[in-house]
Amino acid sequence: MDFLSEELQRYVEEHTTPETELLQKLNRETHAKVMKPRMLSGHLQGRILSTFSHMIKPENILEIGTYTGYSAICMAEGLRDGGKLYTLDINEELETMVRSYFKEAGVEDKIDYRIGNALDIIPGLNVMFDLVFIDADKVNYSNYFDLVIDKVNAGGFIVADNVLWSGKVVNEGKTDKDTQVMLDFNSRMHNDERVENVLFPVRDGLMVMRKL
């Protein structure tokens, strides 16, 4: 997922507002104790999500894919007073860790954290969202988009992570199944007349869509 040289990446992070002590702690613990720590948003992407949230000032945020809670804490920073972040994850094994960090970050009252299949949970959410972050199983990205598009306010944003798929989206020759899923999703989003989109080459790629 590293498309910049180590030197340039270091320079970028050194000139980005640093992580809070709590986010540094969560970052370290995730890498030390949790499988697939590359799934963590991390410093740069976390600050980007926080900045998006502060710019949008959302009343409601939906996150599909909580993992260890790093990105949720970042996005919760920009919620307007009385706002709520709904975050969904299928992995119940991380629940205790995630809830402890939400409490330590002082955002547990702002977050509705639900364990279960997002495909089953989303239809029951009678909420309109200003910001949606999709970062779960890639094969269902299009399904998640279909479920949320009518729950996003006009002018609201949908952000999908990992859309560059470690650079494999531009590999010549045979395309594996997972890469094809991402290629199809990116093409579909780019051609969906309900949104305008920008693909940010940040970390593993962020597809940022604004609902028209």
Kindly list the domain boundaries of the chain, sorted by start residue: 6-211
Specify the pLDDT at position 70: 98
Return the bridge partners of 132, or none. 62, 158
Are residues 153 and 210 in contact, defined by beta-carbon separation less than 8 angstroms? no
Angle between helices 21-33 and 42-56 (to 10 degrees): 130
Give the CA distances from residue 87 to residues 64, 121, 131, 132, 199, in Å, rounded to whole numbers and listed in that order.
6, 10, 12, 10, 23
Specify the pLDDT at position 1: 66
Low-confidence ranges of the chain (pLDDT < 50): none
Q: Report the alpha-carbon angle 12-72-195, nearest 5.
A: 80
**Helix (H), strand (E) at residue 74:** helix 70-76
pTM, two decimals, is: 0.96
State the DSSP code for 2.
Answer: -
Strand pairing category for 111-115 and 129-134: unpaired
Nearest Cα neighbor of 63 from 82, 48, 85 is 85
Two tokens at 174?
A: 């045979």
Specify the pLDDT at position 175: 84
State how far the Cα of 104 lies from the Cα of 143, in Å rounded to an integer. 33
Are residues 190 and 142 in contact, defined by beta-carbon separation less than 8 angstroms? no
Neighbours of 32 (CB within 10 A): 8
* 6-211 CATH, one of 3.40.50.150, 3.40.50.620, 3.40.50.720, 3.40.50.2300: 3.40.50.150
Nearest Cα neighbor of 145 from 132, 129, 161 is 132
Specify the pLDDT at position 74: 98
